[in-house]
A and B are shown apart, each in its own frame.
Chain A
Amino acid sequence: MPIHMLYFAWVRERIGVTEERVTPPDDVRDVAGLIAWLAGRSDGHAEAFAEPARLRAAVDQDFVALDAPIAGAREIAVFPPVTGG
């Protein structure tokens, strides 16, 4: 089943889209692996995901570490650390 990807802040700007649907191969099992796989989609993805340590993620709207599994995920968001209100 495809995953609905959402991007925010400078991640969104670098990739150039707010959202997209992707179907990663079976050997992509966690968020870090997904990010590494997505980095190959375009120059913008590669730029956005160049430093994984600067990225945060949410799986189905729950904030997770980058080693969190993605099995069964419907929506995954990737973004910079939040900067408050």
Chain B
Amino acid sequence: MIRIVVSPAPIDLPSEIAAAEAGGAGAVATFTGLVRADDGVDCLELEHYPGATEAALTRVAEQAVERWSLQGATIVHRVGPMRPGERIVFVAAAAPHRGDALAACAYLIDRLKTDAPFWKRETRGGTASWVEARESDTAAAARWSATGAG
């Protein structure tokens, strides 16, 4: 019921959604992250820490399953070079009802942004630069630690 994939292969949305729906849940919430096409990035490259990345994503999924009693949690993450418009990440949460599915889906994407060892490098006009850590990602993840959240 937990599916974790870290791979340079393109993310196949129909097959991932079908797999998330196969567990008999009443509600499946999904999120897809794409390389933004509107801010001048020609190429986005994602580096990761093999082994540690999969372990970190598994922990995030296990925490979501425990917190919302999910029937399934999926995290599929692309690594390597990508072009604008391509999918970087897909998450899905399957639960008996929509409230838990939607909340768990938001939790999965917020947590993986700060808890998993990924580093982004953007190329604009032939110049590559590493992306700095974002305060907003840390804040988004921290809201799940607040009393009564979720």
Contact = CB atoms under 8 A, between A and B. Distances in A.
A84 interface: yes
Contacts of A61: 49, 51-52, 55
A77 B47 CA distance: 14
Contacts of B120: 83-84
Chain B interface residue number, banded: 20 to 34
Interface stretch (A3-11, A25-33, A45-53): A3-11
Nearest 10 A/B pairs, CB to CB: A84-B113, A81-B133, A9-B119, A61-B52, A85-B89, A83-B131, A83-B120, A10-B130, A85-B118, A84-B137
Interface of A: 6, 8-10, 58, 61, 77, 79-85
25 contacts: A9-B47, A9-B119, A9-B130, A58-B52, A61-B49, A61-B51, A61-B52, A61-B55, A77-B49, A77-B52, A79-B49, A80-B130, A82-B114, A82-B116, A82-B119, A83-B118, A83-B130, A84-B114, A84-B120, A85-B46, A85-B77, A85-B88, A85-B112, A85-B113, A85-B116
